[in-house]
Amino acid sequence: MLEKEISLLDLMVEILLHWRALIVWMLIGGILMGGFGYVSSYRTMQIQKVKFEEEEKKLQDMKQQLGEAESEGENYSAFAQKEYLQKQMTEIQKNNVDSVLDWESFIEERQTYFNNSILMNIEALNIPQSKLTFLVVADSEEKSKSIELIYEDLVSIGIYQWIADNFKEDVSTQALNEVITLSRSSRAFISGGDSFSVSVVYETEEQCKELAQLVTAYMNQQHDLLVEEIGAHDIVLVNEAYSLVKDTSLMDKQRSIKNEITSWKTSVAKMKDAFEEEEWKYYNFLTIGRALGEPVQDGEEGAALDNAQDGQGQQSSMVNSIVVNPPSISIKYIILGMILLAFIYVFYVFVMFIMNNKLRAGDDVSRMYGIPQLGQIPCTNTKKKILPIVDKWILKLKNRGKREFSKEEAIGLAAVAVKISAKREKMNEIYCIGCSMQDKAAEVSGNIENVLKHENISMTVLNNVLYNQEAMERLQGSKGAFLLEQAGETFYEEITKELELLNRQDIKILGIVVME
């Protein structure tokens, strides 16, 4: 088992799903700190009555000191310091600094693209290219055309991630999108079918051919899956051509982008050379002194800032000491209590999430255990909760960009995946094993079993195979099995032990189905 990864998105969703308890704890914190503030203000009032005259004299002294500090233009915070620097400049000077920062951000983005793009670094006059032409043949011309459009969609969307996972080189899907392109082929002389072409370019001929082979492998894999879903058809690689091509337009684009970046950097350098002292100080303040120029503040300015901040704290305490206020509930304490209790509760949820050693619905079990994930069954929470629509919005954040399936659809897809795996291994009897298989697991296994019966494949369910001697003994002689595990119930260690048990018995592991 590989080390599990902590998804920040899953962590955020887990925290947001506890919004009801979070609100309760915030209310408790607000009430407690509000009461504490009221008691504190009452005690302060009693002290103020006794020391009124003494504190009034101290206040006058402090006002005099603070007035002198303010006359020297000292700052009290980073925000005030920024305002102070802005006041020293004209609007034109501020616009000059803002323009430089915007241009530097833009140049950095373009430079990153130029450095990481395969097309920007390829030799444009000697580009290895592979062109593959695929023919789709079905029962009728209309069906062939429809199926061919499905393959075009697979090339346009799903192929990049699959190739990125199987390519020897470390390459992003964005980079593959530039070097693998789809085009329609002429079908005037091809009867009863439809065709399309896939063009592949890369830095070396060997890498280009490897990508072409992966494209062909991907098409064959998708063909096996689509046959089960939409019916019999064939996809044939009718032409495979390798060549070295010249692309002058790409060469012009490479040169143009490189020259543009150089020109922009030169322009920005000239703009910074024209900076005056005030502009350099403001620029360094915004960029945390990463550029040349005078620092934001030297030792004398830092000392003045500390003195001013001390003076501000003293002024606040003096004002509170001489003003005799009646006891009241402070909004500041209420907000502080709400934030404090909210932070504590979020920290508790964070710790529980990190320390959790049970299977999560968002885990990539394929990567962790090296076995196929045959399906994921969504949960159907029947508990009545306040404002359930909020939970739906939060879960949409987690599942954005993903196709959502109902429970019945997910079970059906999982059943088909199990059936395909069993048929591929030519098995007519398989076992379904797992830990903590409750009522929901029985429903899922029952649906899968019904699908397999139609294919003359028998399925036996073994619950708690690690802890049940009889169930473990029944595994003897089995040729294939898949795991059915409940997220939030099954421990990671239990899955590891189940896989070790199957491997010791030389039982083929078809994959795993996860129930949320």
Note whether 107 and 255 are same-domain residues. Answer: yes
For 493, the token pair is: 């260690």
Note whether 18 and 83 are same-domain residues. Answer: yes
Note whether 232 and 322 are same-domain residues. Answer: no
Q: Which of 5, 21, 32 is nearest to 349 (CA)?
A: 21
Note whether 313 and 449 are same-domain residues. Answer: no
Neighbours of 14 (CB within 10 A): 19
Integer Rg of the chain from CA: 34
Note whether 420 and 312 are same-domain residues. Answer: no
Identify the domain boundary among 212, 245, 278.
245
Identify the domain boundary among 203, 224, 245.
245
- Element containing residue 250 per DSSP (H, E): helix 248-273
Note whether 321 and 288 are same-domain residues. Answer: yes
Q: Residues near 364 by Cβ (< 8 Å), separated by ≥ 6?
A: 5, 373
- Element containing residue 118 per DSSP (H, E): helix 118-121
Note whether 202 and 216 are same-domain residues. Answer: yes
Note whether 493 and 385 are same-domain residues. Answer: yes
Per-residue pLDDT of the chain (516 residues; tens, 9 = 90+): 566 667 777 788 888 888 888 889 989 988 988 888 888 877 777 776 666 666 566 556 545 544 544 444 444 456 667 777 888 888 898 898 999 999 998 999 888 888 888 888 888 888 899 999 988 888 887 888 888 888 888 887 778 888 888 888 888 888 888 888 887 655 534 444 578 889 999 988 888 988 999 989 988 888 888 888 888 888 888 888 898 888 888 888 888 988 999 999 999 999 989 898 888 888 888 876 444 334 344 343 444 344 444 444 444 444 444 455 677 777 888 899 899 999 999 999 888 888 888 888 778 888 888 889 888 888 766 556 666 777 777 777 766 666 777 888 888 888 889 989 988 888 888 999 888 777 678 888 888 888 888 888 888 888 888 888 888 888 887 889 999 988 888 888 888 998 988 888 889 999 999 888
Range of the domain at 415: 365-515
Burial tier of 291 (Cβ tally within 10 Å: 0-12, 13-18, 19+): middle
* CATH number for position 177: 3.30.70.1130
* Rounded Cα gap, residues 175 and 164, in angstroms: 10
Q: Residues near 483 by Cβ (< 8 Å), separated by ≥ 6?
A: 371, 432, 433, 434, 495, 498, 499, 509, 511, 512, 513
Note whether 322 and 415 are same-domain residues. Answer: no
* CATH number for position 375: 3.40.50.300
Note whether 372 and 484 are same-domain residues. Answer: yes
Note whether 195 and 307 are same-domain residues. Answer: no
SS3 459: strand
Domain count, the chain: 3
* Rounded Cα gap, residues 509 and 175, in angstroms: 35
C-alpha distances (whole Å) from 164 to each of 159, 169, 237 are: 8, 8, 22
Q: Can you give the three-state secondary structure of 20-44, one letter per residue?
A: HHHHHHHHHHHHHHHHHHHHHHHHH
Interior angle at CA 430, CA 425 and CA 434, nearest 5: 120
* Rounded Cα gap, residues 212 and 206, in angstroms: 10
Note whether 130 and 42 are same-domain residues. Answer: no
Report the first-to-last Cα separation within the chain, whole angstroms: 20
Identify the domain boundary among 292, 325, 356.
356
Q: Which of 235, 215, 221, 234 is nearest to 159 (CA)?
A: 215
